[in-house]
Amino acid sequence: MISREHKKHSDIARAGYGNFARHEWAILGTHCGIIKNLADEIFRALSPTYKCGYADAQHTDKGMEQELPGRLGSGAAAEYTSQTHYQQFHFNKNLGPFQFRQIFADIDFLLVNGNHHEASSQVVVIDNTKMASLQKRVSQLTHVDLLLLADNANEVFDFIKVALPSWKDLPLYKLSDTEKIIDFFESKLRNKKPLLNGLVLAGGNSLRLGRNKATMDWHGKEQQYYMADLLKNYCEEVFISCTEEQKPALDNDYKIITDSFTGLGPYGAILSAFREHPSRAWLVLACDLPLLNAETIRQLIEQRHVLVMATAFESPFDGLPEPLIAIWEPKSYPVLLSFLSQGYTCPRKALRNNEINQVKATDPDALMNVNTPEDSERARQLLLQRSQKV
């Protein structure tokens, strides 16, 4: 017999996904052709800035048997075709929310034909010719953000007023007010910018240096605390990342995230941070950057691009992205998990094989790592030179 207090599965933080994507709206209450046309207008306006997605169902005449496309008709479970201007997948299996969220993980927002699928948020069209159809779907109106009046409607249906007691607080436009509708979605997306947390990586072994990088004193305090204090001016919350063994030695005045993905180095630290706060972006800093300054952090934040996986400085040594002086957006979390499932634990490899914003540092010396005693001596000389210039 299992106790009522017994929990079979661990509680972990979940990202705010809908049925398909993080940000999704079902458009319902009118004809499918009108929904598609509206989606086309929105996509034409917003696709230069945002990655847009659409979910619908194929319309077939009743009683007509639809043939499976391509090799699926021969029994293949999946087919990929590289087209000239786009890529195409066909699956011969049922897909559900867990699969959809993976497929649309990179999408900034997704519109759904609400006549066929549900979404976490809704846009309701008041169309007299589809009143009965909409009334059947009232239970789907869980989070209505926008009301639209078709040309044949002058006011909101009474059953909608009952289902949405606060309907007067919602924006109400004509379906033909395309510019207002586009502005509505653009405003929504702007306001959904993920909050930024800071993460100082202090869990390394520092084997080449011969001493703990995190506890070195370059600025009058241990480097891990100096870096955390530096980030407090720019982040919602700042955490020091460490192993379970290192945790007791850390100052209780600082927030800590211990590695829950163990044995993976910085890769595991980033994943552990996302596991705690999957809807936050993370400004990740290695603790072996003695010349890093506020100006360089500001540059990274000012050039942050939330619509790609990450914003990272370009290494002045090899031109590749620096994964440990970077802002990792929430959409990078499933990417990192996917790389891990394929046996890869290099954060730089994840950056190099995905769309990122790579930034050239105004002060390249600020990106200098200290990995050896020789690096340490050079860093001290540079810090001394800088202090003498002040």
CATH class of the domain whose range is 196-389? alpha beta
What integer pLDDT is reported at residue 63 of this predicted model? 54
Q: Where are the domains of the chain?
A: 24-57+98-191, 196-389
Write out pLDDT tens, residues 109-135: 999 999 999 999 999 999 999 999 999
What integer pLDDT is reported at residue 60 of this predicted model? 67
Mean local confidence (pLDDT), 156-163: 97
Indicate if 196-389 has the same CATH topology as 24-57+98-191: no
Mean local confidence (pLDDT), 297-326: 96
What integer pLDDT is reported at residue 210 of this predicted model? 45
Q: How far apart are CA 86 and CA 351, in angstroms?
A: 22
Residue 102, phi then psi, degrees to nearest 5: -70, -45
In the predicted model, is pLDDT for residue 13 greater than 90?
no
In the predicted model, is pLDDT for residue 10 greater than 80?
no
Write out pLDDT tens, residues 199-238: 999 965 554 444 578 888 888 899 999 999 999 999 999 9
Distance of CA 1 to the CA centre of its chain: 41
Residue 71, phi then psi, degrees to nearest 5: -75, -10
The secondary structure of the chain, three-state, reads: CCCCCCCCCCCCCCCCCCCCCCCEEEEECCCHHHHHHHHHHHHHHHCCCCCEEEECCCCCCCCCCCCCCHHHHHCCCEEEEECCCCEEEEECCCCCHHHHHHHCCCCCEEEEECCCCCCCEEEEEECHHHHHHHHHCHHHCCCEEEEEECCCCCCCCHHHHHHCCCHHHCCEEECCCHHHHHHHHHHHHHHCCCCEEEEEECCCCCCCCCCCHHHCECCCCEHHHHHHHHHCCCCCCEEEEECCCCHHHCCCCCEEEECCCCCCCHHHHHHHHHHHCCCCEEEEEECCCCCCCHHHHHHHHHCCCCCCCEEEEECCCCCCEEEEEEEECCCHHHHHHHHHHCCCCCHHHHHHCCCCEEECCCCHHHHCCCCCHHHHHHHHHHHHHHHHHC
Residue closest to 359 by CA, chosen among 317, 291, 301: 301
In the predicted model, is pLDDT for residue 264 greater than 60?
yes
- Return the minimum-mean-pLDDT range out of 41-50, 67-76, 254-263: 67-76
Q: How far apart are CA 222 and CA 214, in angstroms?
A: 7
Q: How many residues comprise the chain?
A: 390
Write out pLDDT tens, residues 81-102: 999 999 999 999 999 999 999 9
Q: Residue 182's pLDDT band (boundaries 50, 70, 90)?
A: very high
Q: How far apart are CA 387 and CA 390, in angstroms?
A: 5
Which residues lie closer than 8 Å to 290 by C-beta, 6 or more apart? 216, 218, 219, 223, 368, 370, 379, 383
Mean local confidence (pLDDT), 268-280: 97
Mean local confidence (pLDDT), 140-154: 97
In the predicted model, is pLDDT for residue 311 greater than 60?
yes
Q: How far apart are CA 154 and CA 130, in angstroms?
A: 14
Q: How far, in Å, are 108, 137, 310 from residue 352 at the CA level? A: 20, 45, 11
In the predicted model, is pLDDT for residue 12 greater than 90?
no
Pick the CATH number of 24-57+98-191 from 3.40.50.300, 3.40.50.2020, 3.90.1170.50, 3.40.50.2300: 3.40.50.300
Q: How far, in Å, are 87, 126, 149, 327 from residue 132 at the CA level? A: 39, 11, 16, 49
The residue with greater pLDDT, 150 or 369, is 150
In the predicted model, is pLDDT for residue 1 greater than 50?
no
CB atoms within 10 A of CB 341: 8
- pTM score > 0.75 for this model? yes
What integer pLDDT is reported at residue 207 of this predicted model? 45
Contact between 165 and 144 under an 8 Å Cβ cutoff? The reply is no
Residue closest to 27 by CA, chosen among 151, 130, 146: 146
- Return the minimum-mean-pLDDT range out of 34-43, 286-295, 336-345: 286-295
Q: Which tokens go with 178?
A: 């395309």
pLDDT averaged over every residue in the chain: 92
Q: How far apart are CA 231 and CA 197, in angstroms?
A: 9
